[in-house]
Amino acid sequence: ELKVNLETLLFPPLRDQETMEELQRSFSPPPCPSTVTVRRNPPRRARATPFTTAAKPPSASANTHDVPAFPIDEILSIQIPQSEPKSSVPESLKIFLRIKPLKIVTKVTTTKSRPRNVWPQNPWKKNNAKENRNPENAKKKKKSEEACIALNDPYSVTLTPPEALQELKRSKTEVYEGFSHVFPADCSQNDVYGKMVQPLLEDFMKGKSGMLAALGPSGSGKTHTVFGTPKDPGIVPLTLRQIFKKSDESSPGGSLRSFHLSIFEIYSERGKGEKAYDLLGDGSSELSVQQSTIRGLKEVPIKNLEETESLIGQAMLKRATATTNSNTQSSRSQCIINIRAAHNGVSNETKTQSSDAMLTIVDLAGAEREKRTGNQGERLVESNFINNTSMVFGQCLRALLEYQKNRKKGFQKHHQNSLLTRYLRDYLEGKKRMALILTVKAGEEDYLDTSYLLRQASPYMKIKFDNTEEVCNKRQLK
């Protein structure tokens, strides 16, 4: 019996198949259904929107005879004017030279009785006075009044040092060529305008911005070239006359352009730093110069020549001037004249609408030497400001030239060192067209000033304008 019990414990009897299936069902989990739907969020009803409540579009069977046909033939018949092909040759910086005529001043000396108890005059002056009476000294004096600069042709000049400097090794006869045009001493204001300003004005009327700057030593005729006199008008009055004339000719029924004028000066008062003043305003309000824009600058719309000339005359009365040994009415500030053309419609000739353009004319104060001007105190501080502005202006042009020669070196931006160059940044970086006119004095006593200006400005002729501003043409549909 014990043996039978052990066998039943070690080897339990096999159960039948039905019993085994029941045991599997009791221990196995219930089978999963073939499809399961899980709804995490309850159904939501969409809100009514303007698109759902809008009326249904009419069916295609509705009457469409009242709908006009698309004017495709009219659109295709419009002729779009083709812009002039861009020249592959870059445009060079145009530099003009104007020679101021000599003025021979004869001094009439009268003998005065010397009172008693007065120290005698300098014997050296007496000897000079005696020598001036001799004919030989008169010849020498006549030679000293000769011109140091001579015109070779309309594009070059020869600079000859005076006899006192010919012994020096550094002083020798030099030839400067490559100018866009050289205006002799007997040229008129109309000649200067026709050669220099007329091309800029034509581009300005087409929607291209441009700038013209006058450079030169003090008393060389910069302000006379820019503004002139009522009997002999300069660049600015002649430009305004042509602007109003061309505007009336292009749109006789009504002007499609509106012109605006703004004038301001940059001045350093008593060494307190550069400041900009509005010459069309009260003249005392200081302006804020931010890059190439000026906050607070008054822009006056101009409609006729008489009103515009009156505004310019009032502005020139507010400009800072002073008397020095080299110039009786020396400009002590940098004067900037802006003429903006706003296009209000489509031109009848080209059927296009051009973008706004700006014509800027700059009258820089003349560079001064202390020995020539005799400035002291406040005038000496003004001279330092004027010379510094001229120096920075030249540094910007030289940096542009060096960058165009070797673009790997990088572009040195000197325009931050002066308010004038900061305002003219786009021109000094070669992005917009500009032209320069150099004014020089022909006397032998002005040789050093003339030589320095020509030596500094002659390399500027190699500056190129690759990325110039183009006209913005827009097609207008009626």
pLDDT 10s digits, 226-252: 999 889 999 999 999 999 988 777 665
Look at residue 34 and tell me whether its pLDDT is greater than 60.
yes
pLDDT (0 to 100) of residue 76: 76
Instruction: Please list, residue by residue across 93-106, b when 16 or more beta carbons sit within 10 angstroms of its beta carbon and e when fewer do.
Output: bbbbbbbbeeeeee
354-367 average pLDDT score: 84
Residue 225: pLDDT band with limits 50, 70, 90: very high
219 is in an annotated binding site: yes
pLDDT (0 to 100) of residue 54: 60
Q: How far apart are CA 38 and CA 170, in angstroms?
A: 100
217 is in an annotated binding site: yes
Look at residue 125 and tell me whether its pLDDT is greater than 60.
no
468 is in an annotated binding site: no
DSSP letters spanning 363-377: EPPPB--HHHH---T
Residue 176: pLDDT band with limits 50, 70, 90: very high
For all residues of the chain together, what is the average pLDDT? 75
68-72 average pLDDT score: 77
Residue 230's contacts (CB-CB under 8 Å, 6 or more residues apart) are none
78-88 average pLDDT score: 57
Look at residue 474 and tell me whether its pLDDT is greater than 70.
no
pTM above 0.85, yes or no: no
Residue 113: pLDDT band with limits 50, 70, 90: very low
Q: How far apart are CA 82 and CA 204, in angstroms?
A: 19
Q: How far apart are CA 245 and CA 239, in angstroms?
A: 10
For 305-324, write each residue's pLDDT tens digit. Answer: 899 999 998 888 888 766 66
pLDDT (0 to 100) of residue 283: 62
Q: Which two tokens stand for residue 369?
A: 């030497």
For 342-356, write each residue's pLDDT tens digit. Answer: 876 555 544 455 568
45-64 average pLDDT score: 62
Q: What percent of the chain is modeled with pLDDT above 70?
A: 60
273-302 average pLDDT score: 83
Look at residue 11 and tell me whether its pLDDT is greater than 70.
no
Q: Which two tokens stand for residue 460?
A: 């500027």
SS3 (DSSP) at 434: strand
Angle of CA points 399, 277, 370, to nearest 5° = 60
Nearest to 151 by CA among 143, 160, 142: 160
More confident residue, 194 or 50: 194
- Helices 235-250 + 198-205 axis angle, to 10: 40
239 is in an annotated binding site: no
207 is in an annotated binding site: no
Residue 129 CA from chain centroid, whole number: 53
Residue 16: pLDDT band with limits 50, 70, 90: low
371 is in an annotated binding site: no
Q: What percent of the chain is modeled with pLDDT above 90?
A: 27
Q: What is the CATH number of domain 94-100+184-465?
A: 3.40.850.10
pLDDT (0 to 100) of residue 111: 45
Q: How far apart are CA 157 and CA 358, in angstroms?
A: 33
Residue 123: pLDDT band with limits 50, 70, 90: very low
Phi and psi at 293, nearest 5°, equal: -125, 155
pLDDT (0 to 100) of residue 302: 92
296 is in an annotated binding site: no
Tokens 């995490």, located at residue: 40
- Helices 305-318 + 235-250 axis angle, to 10: 150
Look at residue 188 and tell me whether its pLDDT is greater than 90.
yes
Bridge partners of 358?
Answer: 340
331 is in an annotated binding site: no
Look at residue 374 and tell me whether its pLDDT is greater than 70.
no
